[in-house]
């Protein structure tokens, strides 16, 4: 039980456990880990409340129907699991601006909100275009030695390194 309360686990150890979890998931339910298409389903569910006729006409929503599936529950579970872990280890912390961001860009909640919103917007369009995110392409793709996974993961990191370093250009001056 002490291990569960520890605030920090070795990333190699936790990663290896996540690998076992991924194997068991494929073995038991046939499901590979992924996340990004759940956002498409969520968008479809929201649109369905207001413009149901339109949703039924969008081809991409036929492929990713406005309903809750394995992956949607998986993504929801991530939030619950993280909450449980944070509570029992005492690392839950309400924060509207991350530490590193605040050191560089200050305390403005609005500024961080605009950047986070735009980043999320761009990232999901990219992920859906590429056919997956670091979970689907990165973890599940590389586990299966998929060519698409390697190409996507290299591109994720290449562009991520560029945008993060442009944002933090000149380092943090404090």
Q: Is 68 within 8 Å of 48 (Cβ atoms)?
A: no
Nearer to another protein, 31 or 106 (CB): 31
Question: With binding defined as CB under 8 A, does residue 25 bind another protein?
Answer: yes
Question: With binding defined as CB under 8 A, does residue 22 bind another protein?
Answer: yes
Cα–Cα distance measured from residue 35 to residue 15, given in angstroms and rounded to the nearest whole number: 17
Question: With binding defined as CB under 8 A, does residue 52 bind another protein?
Answer: no
Q: How far apart are the first and last CA of the chain?
A: 41
Question: With binding defined as CB under 8 A, does residue 26 bind another protein?
Answer: yes
Question: With binding defined as CB under 8 A, does residue 48 bind another protein?
Answer: no
Q: Interface mask (CB under 8 A) for another protein, residues 76-115, using x and -?
A: xxxxxxxxxxx--x-xxxxxxxxxxx-------x--xxxx
Q: Is 153 within 8 Å of 142 (Cβ atoms)?
A: yes
- Pick the binder of another protein from 1, 2, 29, 49 (CB under 8 A): 29
Find the shortest distance in angstroms from Cβ 108 to another protein.
11
- Pick the binder of another protein from 27, 50, 90, 174 (CB under 8 A): 27
Q: Is 160 within 8 Å of 127 (Cβ atoms)?
A: no
Find the shortest distance in angstroms from Cβ 174 to another protein.
15
Find the shortest distance in angstroms from Cβ 25 to another protein.
5
Find the shortest distance in angstroms from Cβ 87 to another protein.
9
- Which burial class, exposed, middle or buried, applies to 152 when counting CB atoms under 10 A from its CB (0-12, 13-18, 19+)? buried
Q: Enumerate residues 113-172 that contact another protein by CB under 8 A.
A: 113-168
Give the total of residues touching another protein (CB under 8 A): 131
Cα–Cα distance measured from residue 10 to residue 18, given in angstroms and rounded to the nearest whole number: 12
Find the shortest distance in angstroms from Cβ 147 to another protein.
4
Q: Provide the 10 A C-beta neighbour count for residue 61.
A: 19
| Cα–Cα separations (whole angstroms), residue 117 to 47, 111, 166 | 19, 10, 18
């Amino acid at each position: 039980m002490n291990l569960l309360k520890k605030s920090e686990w070795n990333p190699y150890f936790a990663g290896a456990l996540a690998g076992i979890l991924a194997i068991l998931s494929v073995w038991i339910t046939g499901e590979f880990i992924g996340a990004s298409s759940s956002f498409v389903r969520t968008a479809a569910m929201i649109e369905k409340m207001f413009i149901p006729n339109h949703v039924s006409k969008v081809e991409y929503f036929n492929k990713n129907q406005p309903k809750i599936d394995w992956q949607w529950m998986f993504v929801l579970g991530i939030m619950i699991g993280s909450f449980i872990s944070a509570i029992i280890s005492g690392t839950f912390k309400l924060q509207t601006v991350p530490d590193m961001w605040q050191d560089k860009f200050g305390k403005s909640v609005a500024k961080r909100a605009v950047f986070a919103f735009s980043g999320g917007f761009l990232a999901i369009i990219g992920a859906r275009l590429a056919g997956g995110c670091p979970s689907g392409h990165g973890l599940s793709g590389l586990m299966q030695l998929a060519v698409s996974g390697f190409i996507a993961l290299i591109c994720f990191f290449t562009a991520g390194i560029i945008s993060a370093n442009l944002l933090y250009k000149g380092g943090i001056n404090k």
